[in-house]
Amino acid sequence: MITFRPAAKFDKPVTVLLLDKEQVKNKKFTFTQRVLQEQIHTLSRLGHFTAEDGELYPLLIESNVYLLVGIGESKKLSLTALRVSLRKALLSATAGKAKEIEIIVNEQNDNIVTAAIEAVLIGTYAWKKYRTASDKDKSVDMKDKHVFLVAEKKKAYAEAVAICQGVNFTRDLVNDNADTVTSDYFEKTVKELIKGKANVAVEILSGKDMRAKKLGLHLAVNQGSDKEPKLIIVDYKGAPGKKDYTAFIGKGMTFDTGGINLKPTGHVETMRIDMSGAAAVLGTLKNALALHLKKNVLFVLGIAENAIGPGAYKPGDVLRSYCGKTVEVLNTDAEGRLVLADAISYVVKNYKPARIIDIATLTGACVVALGNDYTGLMTTDDQFSRQLVRSSNETDDRVWRLPIYPELKEAVKSQIADIKNVGFPKGAGGTITAAEFLHQFTEGTPWAHLDIAGTAFNDGTERWYYGHGATGAGVRLVTHYLRHH
């Protein structure tokens, strides 16, 4: 919980102060506690604390605990580094046991305060649903802490809090067990989110509906599973007088074994995260509802489970898609693009959106190309790309554009069907050929593809200001895009 207060009161068990080098050196502080000012200046003069980026220094004055956090030179301030440093401070032994913490941001502007909010809410998130309590762990869970942030109470800051809650909502979905977050769970969650909302309608296609409407690709991917496939379309009317819609479509593989092209040990263990795209769509829907977004958006979730069984689809199969195109299956582990292809076709034909954004943990090749810090962005529309990159820069939800070009369609041509689900041989260009496969189903609608295979999940102990587990990649990015473009 975050409460905003206009001035520092130094009335909490721990006070965290974000300080830059110039402020410490020249004693230019926004707070008036002279004893604290002198102590900080003395530490600086002796070289014990100079506010270097990431520097932490605990300080005790009488019965008050202060945690000094260095953020480096203000002219070179990195908001990413600020988030990392504040996260480190809040999770430190000094602050860990405090139920209430005051945070003082010495130089206040909207970007710095928003970064501090994100450090508190996104940076300290931890998935502990299945951890039993330990007597050895005496620290207070961040969910139970009350943070008092010294900043003017503004609508923009309340909105930043709401957006962070959407990010963490997505992370909870991705982190949970695959047999918990099933297609039925997604349907239930959607209905709970939109309950009582007058400007929202929903269409839900079950397996029976898909068979009647001939969504052959989606059905094939799911046919080895005992779980029901679903295509869920939430029609959000934030601007009722306008017909201009953005469709935001997420890949929702609740578990991906790879099918008959089975994933090996070392890769299959985290495949509950293969629904991160659909979870990001839901987190963004939560944000749209909380922010009363003044845009029209289709929030689309293609939900399936790529399981192994006697009915599982097979390499070499030729499948017919919803739009009628036939697809040769060269690899059953290239399944997400099949589900997305039918979802894109269905939305284009029946809803006619002005533009499409799809989001998916689609290719390991994207991790090879960009690592874990940048989402792959592919689009044929330069303006669309510029807008998404601008939103990326504003939110620290980073993207990097990869090429899509006319000749690429040759890579997905099949000798026995219209197209194939794997492009160049030996894995070359796997990210861009996967995107080109999806491009074949857009029917000329402006479209952008976000590959979050590398950014959706942190398999280590920490990265940037994320701990282990889901990151909520794409939620801040697309929320900003929908609000501002």
Kindly report the CA angle at 5 between 11 and 158, in degrees rounded to 5?
Answer: 135
Helix (H) or strand (E) holding 433: helix 430-439
pLDDT at 171 (0 to 100): 98
pLDDT band, residue 148 (cuts 50/70/90) = very high
- In this structure, are residues 187 and 195 in contact, taking their beta carbons and an 8 Å threshold? no
pLDDT at 220 (0 to 100): 98
- Per-residue pLDDT of 44-61, as tens digits, reads 989 999 999 999 999 999
Residue 135 confidence (pLDDT) above 60: no
- In this structure, are residues 248 and 299 in contact, taking their beta carbons and an 8 Å threshold? yes
pLDDT band, residue 22 (cuts 50/70/90) = confident
Instruction: Report, as an integer, the average pLDDT of 276-287.
Output: 98
pLDDT at 10 (0 to 100): 92
Extents of the domains making up the chain: 2-153, 161-484
pLDDT at 26 (0 to 100): 83
d(CA 264, CA 455): 21
pLDDT band, residue 243 (cuts 50/70/90) = confident
Residues 6+ apart with CB under 8 A from 405: none
d(CA 319, CA 416): 11
d(CA 151, CA 8): 9
pLDDT at 138 (0 to 100): 57
- Per-residue pLDDT of 69-111, as tens digits, reads 999 988 888 999 999 999 999 999 999 889 999 999 866 789 9
Question: Could you write out the three-class secondary structure of 69-138?
Answer: EECCCHHHCCHHHHHHHHHHHHCCHHHHCCCEEEEEECCCCHHHHHHHHHHHHCCCCCCCCCCCCCCCCC
Instruction: Tell me which architecture the domain covering 161-484 has in CATH.
Output: 3-Layer(aba) Sandwich (3.40)
Say which residue, 477 or 7, is predicted with more confidence.
477
Which are the catalytic amino acids?
263, 337
- The reported pTM is 0.95
CATH superfamily for 2-153 is Leucine Aminopeptidase, subunit E, domain 1 (3.40.220.10)
Q: Which among 58-72, 122-136, 234-248, 318-332 has the top mean pLDDT?
A: 318-332
pLDDT band, residue 62 (cuts 50/70/90) = confident
pLDDT at 257 (0 to 100): 98
Percent of the chain with pLDDT over 70: 98
pLDDT band, residue 136 (cuts 50/70/90) = low
pLDDT band, residue 460 (cuts 50/70/90) = confident
| Nearest by Cα to 470 from 480, 485, 478, 458 | 458
Residues 6+ apart with CB under 8 A from 359: 248, 249, 250, 251, 277, 280, 281, 449, 450, 452, 474, 478
Residue 267 tokens, joined:
């890769």
- Per-residue pLDDT of 316-330, as tens digits, reads 999 999 999 999 999
Instruction: Report, as an integer, the average pLDDT of 222-228.
Output: 97
d(CA 211, CA 375): 34
pLDDT at 143 (0 to 100): 78
Strand, helix or coil for residue 21: helix
